[in-house]
Structure 1
Amino acid sequence: MTIRTLIDQLIDREGGYVDHPADRGGPTRWGITAAVARANGYHGAIRDLPQAVAADIYERVYWQAPGFDQVATRAPALAAELFDTGVNMGTTTAIGFLQRALNALNRDARDYPDLALDRMIGARTLAALDAFLAHRGRAGEAVLIKAVDALQGERYLSLAERRPADEAFLYGWLAGRVA
């Protein structure tokens, strides 16, 4: 699956223009907030954001910049999950979930050293991912996805517990974003 396919699927899920009163991010178009659009050079009304501009932002900001493209060469389904999580929760949160899962699954550092939870995909995170996959094989990728999903689900529940307005989104988050 290519990044453009992932982006097309994401845009289909996110829909067109949305301005939900409980959403602290404000109005979005194709899932892109006005703040993100402005930070990436778009200066028109968010309601008019072209889909191609949104797709370009997704690829540059939410795929290439955090290094999910590098994860995809090793574990494409995991990279797709990190991409979706990163769009919804922030790329550093998604990377933190991956690093936490890799640390918890390294058999007390016997398979590879613990990672610093720096929320960046660098040489050490990629080396830990490579070592994990070498020890666990393709089935390991599915386990990592489950771990990321579990952390994501817990975060959604915590958000709704701390901010009742987020309860408006909880069902959709759990139904559409946590496998």
Structure 2
Amino acid sequence: MIDQLIDAVIDREGGYSDHPADRGGATRFGITEAVARANGYAGDMRHFSRAAAVAIYRRIYWTRPAFDQVATRAPTLAAELFDTGVNMGPAVAVTFLQRALNALNRGASDYPDVVLDGRVGAQTLAALDRFLLTRRTSGETVLVKAIEAMQGECYMALAEQRPANEAFLYGWLANRLG
């Protein structure tokens, strides 16, 4: 599963980019220079390898945030968390999930509220398990919609707060939601 998700992100992100309005600076295969440097890359981003990008996506955006554990329960949800995490950071994606779980638990009657810590741990996985058991087949779909709604609101706010981000809003909405 993760191999296909990584391929899709790399296809969507493309090769080298250094858009003047992008605060992330130079990127290659969607990996920012800061992330590449934090993971030991010292060269010019134009020469950053696809294999290095794949390794970073797998480690930083799939395994470390425990989206692999979500995937065993809800693969479509895990794919959404991965994509959101790549674009906004894994902790943001997890916080969206935690917020959705809390808002959808009918006043904590289905399971206890989850601490909004941006980490998939035992508490978040237990709440997810209970939610999926309670809501059955539509539960995963509803969680994905909730995460996409929060993601879309963040994109709108980013464009409203910083006009330079308007250059990216259309692409974010077209390629990151749904």
Q: 1:123: Cα distance to partner?
A: 0.1
Indicate the residue corresponding to 2:130 in structure 1: 131
Q: CA deviation at 1:88?
A: 0.4
Q: How many Å apart are 1:81 and its aligned residue?
A: 0.3
Q: CA deviation at 1:138?
A: 2.3
TM superposition score normalised by structure 1: 0.98
Matches within 5 A, 1:18-33: 18-33=17-32
Give the SS at the match of 1:167: helix
In the alignment, the residues of structure 2 paired with residue 170 and residue 146 of structure 1 have an alpha-carbon distance, to the nearest angstrom, of 19
Q: Which amino acid aligns with 2:28?
A: R
Matched, 1:62 2:80: no
Which stretches of structure 1, 4 residues or longer, exceed 6 Å deviation after superposition?
none
Secondary structure at the residue paired with 2:114?
A: coil
* Identity level (%): 68
CA distance in 2, matches of 1:159, 1:138: 33
Q: Distance in 2 between matches of 1:71 and 1:138?
A: 16
Corresponding residue for 1:76?
75
Counterpart CA distance in 2 for 1:121 and 1:132 is 15
The aligned counterpart of 1:102 is: 101
* Partner AA of 2:147 in structure 1: V
SS at match of 1:137: helix
For 2:171, give the aligned amino acid: G
Q: Secondary structure at the match of 2:109?
A: coil
Q: Describe the SS at the equivalent of 1:121.
A: coil
1:9-24 matches, cutoff 5 A: 9-24=8-23
Measured in 2, the distance between the counterparts of 1:43 and 1:171 equals 32
Instruction: Give the corresponding residue for 1:90.
Output: 89
Normalised TM-score (structure 2): 0.99
SS in 2 for 1:128: helix
Map of 2:170 onto structure 1: 171
Residue in 1 aligned with 2:113? Answer: 114
- Residue deviations 1:71-95 (CA, integer Å, cap 9, x gap): 0010000000000000000111000
C-alpha distance in 2, partners of 1:174/1:91? Answer: 19
> Which string of whole-angstrom CA distances, capped at 9 and with x for unpartnered residues, describes residues 92-131 of structure 1?
1000100000000001111000011111100000000000
Q: Within the alignment, does 1:150 sit opposite 2:149 as a pair?
A: yes
